[in-house]
Amino acid sequence: MFASERSWPPEAIATLARMPDRHTLEETERAMKDHVGALPLDFAAANALSNLFRAANAVRSELTNRVLRQHDMTWTGFVVLWVVWIWDGMETRHVAESADISKATLTGVVKTLEARGLIAREGDDNDRRLVRLRLTPEGISLMEQIYPEFNAVESEIIGQLSERKVATFTKTLRDVVNAVEGRDED
Amino acid sequence: MFASERSWPPEAIATLARMPDRHTLEETERAMKDHVGALPLDFAAANALSNLFRAANAVRSELTNRVLRQHDMTWTGFVVLWVVWIWDGMETRHVAESADISKATLTGVVKTLEARGLIAREGDDNDRRLVRLRLTPEGISLMEQIYPEFNAVESEIIGQLSERKVATFTKTLRDVVNAVEGRDED
DNA sequence: GCCGGATCGTTCGGATCCGTACGATAGCCA
DNA sequence: TGGCTATCGTACGGATCCGAACGATCCGGC
């Protein structure tokens, strides 16, 4: 019924991750109803979350391509570096949690950053299970150069929104996080 | 100056990806100023975007753990399956764009899904460079089972927000996407 | 002192993930 | 018809990414 013999241009395609405009949204709803039948679906929720992922991916790509790539830095590598930069000597499990990656992933990322001489692993005398992370002078120097560039692009993106919108936006995002992780404080 | 001998609990750590409450935000600003010096930084933008990534990660984890995992399905595999489910016979480059992944990544994901008998590759007679994707009956059956579960959790998460907030939220997310990708339409 | 349970970071296997290079095909134009 | 260029999907190398299992270490009670 749809798109079997017609080639849809990418801009006109609405999916879980892409839902550019209203017209395509309606078409997607119609296409979905053909597949899911009479089941009651929450299209507003699906649309909101698909835009959430789309925005996160777009911003991440933009920052990677415009800032990180010329320093031969991956997204995760930069985030880890930033965390350790701000919280010098932090234990690995806290770094992993702050960077929103697993401990297993952090091990590999630190290995990469260590090989490049940007980060250093350091044992803890009081608890020899722990490993603390620190930036080398080269790592510090690199962050002092990259982060202002990074934040400038962040500012350029968010600057398109009014100050009040940014505040509301940030609060709603936190509401979403709280809705997922369950709440105790605040 | 910070956290060298004190172990910060994860909830109290504010980073690029995590900025739970105001107090920690202020601490992070202070810690950052110690590192970046007098450089003018846009903390509001950094905070908004860190919450964007945090929300996206949280929602993605929640949907993966509560819905996808019990069907032995990865996030990307599910998104690809969903796109092909709705737009039957779509060409691979459009599927990749809709799923927000590269063509190279799609090749590998399709290989995995094909090995599980959920998706089928199909040549195009008019243009033999093209490869069209279709769901097998098993794939269709699986999506008819999974997607309602998936959407139910989506609805549960977004349901915490008022209807008006959802509309505003969705629109702002799209503004962010447009701010990044540059705009012509709409 | 010692030992069972909890927690640390790492290893392992497997699935993404992407930029680049490549072979195959299509379409244009002389 | 031939060749030039653009575009298609794929192979490859390298970096994430994570759940599960593991050895090392700490700490509680005895």
pLDDT for B11 beyond 70: no
CA distance A115 to chain B (A): 23
**pLDDT reported for residue B32:** 75
> Can you give the distance from the CA of residue A40 to the C1' of nucleotide D4 in angstroms?
54
H or E element in which residue B26 lies: helix B22-36
pTM of this structure: 0.87
CA distance B68 to chain A (A): 15
Cβ of B15 and A85 within 8 Å?
A: no
A37: left (phi over 0), alpha (psi -120 to 50) or beta: left
**pLDDT reported for residue B42:** 93
CA distance A166 to chain B (A): 7
Which A residues 77-136 touch B at CB under 8 Å? Answer: 79, 82-83, 85-91, 94, 97-100
Cβ–Cβ contact A74 with B under 8 A = no
**pLDDT reported for residue B47:** 94
How many residue pairs from chains A and B have C-beta atoms closer than 8 A? Answer: 279
Domain ranges of chain B: 1-71, 74-150
- If DSSP codes are grouped into helix, strand and coil, which group holds residue A13? coil
**Percent of chain B predicted with pLDDT > 90:** 75
Alpha helices in chain A (DSSP H): 22-36, 43-63, 75-86, 92-99, 103-115, 137-158, 163-181
- B45 within 8 A of A155, measured Cβ to Cβ: yes
pLDDT digits (tens, 9 = 90+) for A47-66: 999 999 999 999 999 999 99
Q: How many CA atoms lie within 13 A of B113 on its CB side?
A: 31
Residue B47: list chain A partners with CB under 8 A: 170
pLDDT for A180 beyond 60: yes
Adjacency order of strands within the sheet including A131-135: A90-91, A131-135, A119-123
**pLDDT reported for residue A8:** 35
**pLDDT reported for residue B19:** 43
Q: Give the chain B residue whose CA is nearest to the CA of A184.
A: B11
Tokens representing B9 are 């609990």
- What value does the mean pLDDT take over residues B74-87? 97
**pLDDT reported for residue B35:** 74
H or E element in which residue A4 lies: none
pLDDT digits (tens, 9 = 90+) for B106-155: 999 999 999 999 999 999 999 999 999 999 999 999 999 999 999 999 99
Question: In the structure, what pLDDT confidence band is assigned to residue A172 with cuts at 50, 70 and 90?
Answer: very high
CA distance B69 to chain A (A): 17
CATH number of this structure's domain B74-150, picked from the four choices 1.10.10.10, 1.20.1070.10, 3.40.50.450, 3.90.1150.220 = 1.10.10.10
- B10 within 8 A of A98, measured Cβ to Cβ: yes
**pLDDT reported for residue A24:** 66
Residue B180: list chain A partners with CB under 8 A: 55, 58-59, 61-62, 157
pLDDT digits (tens, 9 = 90+) for B61-78: 999 999 999 999 999 999
- What value does the mean pLDDT take over residues B88-116? 96
**pLDDT reported for residue B49:** 97
CATH code, A74-160: 1.10.10.10
Cβ of A172 and B186 within 8 Å?
A: no
Q: Give the chain A residue whose CA is nearest to the CA of B165.
A: A172
- B170 within 8 A of A48, measured Cβ to Cβ: yes
- B86 within 8 A of A35, measured Cβ to Cβ: yes
Cβ–Cβ contact B181 with A under 8 A = yes
**pLDDT reported for residue A184:** 43
Cβ of A173 and B10 within 8 Å?
A: no
Mean pLDDT, rounded, of chain B: 85
pLDDT for A39 beyond 90: no
pLDDT digits (tens, 9 = 90+) for A126-164: 999 999 999 999 999 999 999 999 999 999 999 999 999
**pLDDT reported for residue B72:** 95
Cβ of B170 and A51 within 8 Å?
A: yes
Length of chain A: 186
Question: In the structure, what pLDDT confidence band is assigned to residue B15 with cuts at 50, 70 and 90?
Answer: very low
Strand C positions closer than 7 A to protein CB: 7-13, 15-21, 23-27
Which nt is closest to the CA of B103, judged by C1'?
A: D9
Tokens representing A178 are 């709280």
